[in-house]
Amino acid sequence: MLEILKAILFGIVEGITEWLPISSTGHMILLNDFINLNVSDEFYKLFEVVIQLGAILAVVIMYFKTICPIGFGKTKKETNKTLNLWGKIIVACLPAAVIGILFDDWLDEHLYNSIVVSLMLIIYGIIFIIVESKQIGKRTTKDLDKITYKQAIGIGAFQLLSLIPGTSRSGATIIGGLILGLERSIAAEFTFFLAIPVMVGASLLKLLKYILDVGFIFQASEVILLLVGCLVAFIVSILIIKFLMNYIRKHDFKVFGYYRIVLGIIVLLYFTLIN
């Protein structure tokens, strides 16, 4: 029961931090240090990634009409628009997908540490504040179908930065979207859609590595932890996505920049001075 409660807490943190541009990695590092799941290191690495599928399912359900090319009485023109959107999503995902697959082990070994995470939290927190304060980028793209392939490729390049732990995938792509001219809500929505292939791919990659290292062997308790974490992440993600979209219609992203800086300092102090 205690481990299930821990899985619920992990699901809550995942559901909140995956969509807000504040780095799920930074929060997971802190949470795992305070509330450690009583599982093997191999299973925890799998758990941490696979519960993201719950968060992804929230996006799929909430935006199913937007991302599904058929049904819902869509005309041929509307279907083509949806297919065109998916073309841009795929183009934007390719750089991170290729580099991520090739250097996944190296990135985990050399960059997955508290110093890198805390520095990235602080650096990109400052960038968020600067981008919003200086209004960098002409926010003229106000519809998803108006996003150009050039903008999609550019956002994909920014998504490469998220391979560094602590950067935040949503943070990197939102910053990229704002600089490249997307209006805040459009930058956020495109970021949601980019997460679908990226996070599904990352989960499958971790699952494959787990199977190769350990075998397709799961205890009943481990399956329960995965299901609980995914379900909680799904429910919380729906609430957070709704909150974020309502929030950015009236506010900018600076508050998240300040939060990142504070969290980055906390992580840095905790792991260098206290731990």
Q: What is the pLDDT of residues 234-265, one digit of tens each?
A: 999 999 999 999 999 899 999 999 999 999 99
What is the predicted pLDDT for the residue at 275?
A: 61
Residue 124 CA to residue 256 CA, distance in Å, equals 10
What is the predicted pLDDT for the residue at 25?
A: 78
Checking if the pLDDT of 231 tops 90, the result is yes
User: Would you place residue 106 in the very low, low, confident or very high pLDDT band (cuts 50, 70, 90)?
Assistant: confident
As a whole number of Å, the CA-based R_g of the chain is 18
Structure confidence by residue, pLDDT tens digits, 151-196: 999 999 999 998 888 899 899 999 999 999 999 999 999 999 999 9
Highest-confidence range of 8-12, 30-34, 108-112, 270-274, by mean pLDDT?
8-12
Answer whether 173's CB lies under 8 Å from 191's CB.
yes
Answer whether 264's CB lies under 8 Å from 118's CB.
yes
- Read off the tokens for 227: 């299901």
DSSP letter for each residue of 56-89: HHHHHHHTHHHH-SS-TT--HHHHHHHHHHHHHH
- Read off the tokens for 91: 């183009």
Mean pLDDT for the chain overall: 89
Checking if the pLDDT of 49 tops 90, the result is no
pTM of the predicted structure, to 2 decimals: 0.88
